[in-house]
Amino acid sequence: MGLLSNSGTFVRFAVEGEMPENFWEFAAERIAANAFKDIDDNYEEYSIGWVSVMNMFDSQFAYASHAVGDYIVLSMRIDERKVPSAVLKKFCMKEEERVRKEKQVPKLSRGHRLEIKESIKLMLTKKAAPMPAVYDLCWNLANNTVLFFSTSAKVHMALEDLFKETFGLHLVLQVPYLAAAHLLNPAQEAELAAMNSSILL
Amino acid sequence: MDLVDIIAEKRFLGQEFLTWLWCKSEERSGAIDLPGIGDISVAFEKHLLLEYGEGESHEKVICQGLQAELNEARTGLRMGKKLEQARIVLGRGEYEWIMTVKASMFDFKSVKTPKTMASQEDSDDPMAVEGKILEKIGLYEQALQLVDELFRLYLTVRLSPGWEAELARLRAWIRIKE
């Protein structure tokens, strides 16, 4: 459901803040600094960064540039090691049972059980393969809007943080009320602010 | 006002726009005259989602199918339900876009762009790739431009003294039983 798929799902953001001079140079440098770093060969739990829209393994933009005409086109990639809760529960119960038998006690204390849970979670997280997710983005520099190909609020938060970290600029989701402000003159904007819902019945 | 308050307090704006657009699309058999653009076609089809109430009493009704189900959605409007999501076909000249619009947030889902020659090509050449990306972005932006202009048309009448008459027409349209 990304930028180049047959059908795309997206929202629109407005970009707010001062754009630096020699923007293209700045953008290239900042995108490189925030490029995606693979965690397949280490035990990191989470990684987020930019990759090419054409290839999720290309964080150097070797095959396609992030600069396309008057647009910056990128994908935000998030890899995360996750342990399904049922799996965590099963291994915790198994370990609690083993320790209980070993110590020959009828019940483990709450503190001890929490300790077991923590160490089991760590062990399973290290074993879990990172789950990848890729979300496309295209930034129109002429009108400073971003099309972002996900409607998830959680993913939007991750994007807003990464975008701020990369470019030092804020993204504001264009819900109807905010989109309307771009289409109206100042006098109409004031009327819009005071407007209430009409009764349609 | 921060975004959370805007979403809560001004939720009605997108929903009212979508309801107005549905009514407007039936006035001239789907043709809507956009200032500076001319006639475009707007058709509501297959999928409508209405909602009612807030918090725990929040209800959703999905009407899917052809004309009969759209009538059911109209009945929903008569009962005070709000139109939250609709599948819309927008046509301009030879081009046609199909999209699901979520009214309260302006989420654009499963947007199908018109088929073009370039979109059929499968080449790894960097110039061709760039061309393909630019064309796709252009098609999405054209769809958004049409939605923006429709929204501007609604806002202009909504904020004008003409809204009372428009509202009367909208109410009459909601009351009509097919």
ipTM for the complex shown: 0.91
The answer to whether B58 and B46 are in contact (CB under 8 A) is: no
Note the pLDDT of residue A96.
94
Domain boundary among A94, A110, A127: A127
Residue A198 forms part of a structural domain: no
Please name the residue of chain A whose CA is at the shortest distance from the CA of residue B172.
A201
The string of pLDDT tens digits covering residues A114-172 is 999 999 999 999 889 999 999 999 999 999 999 999 999 999 999 999 999 999 999 99
Residue A20 forms part of a structural domain: yes
pLDDT of A62 above 90? no
The whole-angstrom separation of Cα A105 and Cα A114 is 17
Instruction: Give chain A's domain count.
Output: 2
pTM: 0.90
Q: Which residues 108-127 in chain B show a CB within 8 A of chain A?
A: 108-113, 126
Note the pLDDT of residue B66.
67
Residue A173 forms part of a structural domain: no
Note the pLDDT of residue A157.
97
Say whether both A75 and A89 belong to one domain. no
Separation of CA B74 from chain center: 16
Say whether both A23 and A62 belong to one domain. yes
Residue A27 forms part of a structural domain: yes
Say whether both A152 and A112 belong to one domain. no
The string of pLDDT tens digits covering residues A67-97 is 999 999 999 999 999 999 999 999 999 999 9
Best of B84, B106, B167 to substitute, by most chain A Cβ atoms within 10 angstroms, is B106
Note the pLDDT of residue A91.
95
Say whether both A74 and A138 belong to one domain. yes
**Tally of residues, chain B:** 178
The string of pLDDT tens digits covering residues B161-174 is 999 999 999 999 98
Domain range for A93: 85-127
CA of A198 vs chain B CAs: smallest distance (Å): 8
Q: pLDDT > 70: what percent of chain A?
A: 99
Per-residue CA distances from B122 to A66, A190, B88, B113, B116 (Å): 20, 50, 29, 17, 13
Nearest CB neighbour to A180, from listed B130, B155, B167:
B155
Q: Which residues 105-164 in chain A show a CB within 8 A of chain B?
A: 138, 140, 147, 151
The string of pLDDT tens digits covering residues A178-192 is 999 989 988 888 888
Say whether both A71 and A25 belong to one domain. yes
Cβ contacts of B160 on chain A, cutoff 8 Å: none
Say whether both A109 and A58 belong to one domain. no
Question: Per the CB < 8 Å rule, is B108 touching A54?
Answer: no
* Dihedrals phi, psi of B92, to nearest 5 degrees: -140, 115
CA of B46 vs chain A CAs: smallest distance (Å): 17
The string of pLDDT tens digits covering residues A20-57 is 889 999 999 999 999 999 999 888 899 999 999 988 99
Say whether both A73 and A142 belong to one domain. yes
Say whether both A110 and A62 belong to one domain. no
The whole-angstrom separation of Cα B13 and Cα B30 is 22
Average pLDDT over residues B3-19: 90
Residue A174 forms part of a structural domain: no
The whole-angstrom separation of Cα A71 and Cα A142 is 8
Note the pLDDT of residue B119.
57
CA of B5 vs chain A CAs: smallest distance (Å): 11
Relative to beta strand A46-51, strand A67-68 is: unpaired
Residue A141 forms part of a structural domain: yes
Best of B102, B113, B136, B149 to substitute, by most chain A Cβ atoms within 10 angstroms, is B136
Say whether both A59 and A95 belong to one domain. no
pLDDT of A12 above 80? yes
Q: Does A11 touch chain B (CB under 8 A)?
A: yes
Please name the residue of chain A whose CA is at the shortest distance from the CA of residue B167.
A200
Q: Does A198 touch chain B (CB under 8 A)?
A: yes
Note the pLDDT of residue A139.
97
Say whether both A62 and A99 belong to one domain. no
The string of pLDDT tens digits covering residues B112-144 is 999 876 655 667 777 888 888 999 999 999 999
CA of B31 vs chain A CAs: smallest distance (Å): 22
Say whether both A159 and A106 belong to one domain. no
Cβ contacts of B158 on chain A, cutoff 8 Å: 195
Residue A153 forms part of a structural domain: yes
Say whether both A69 and A16 belong to one domain. yes
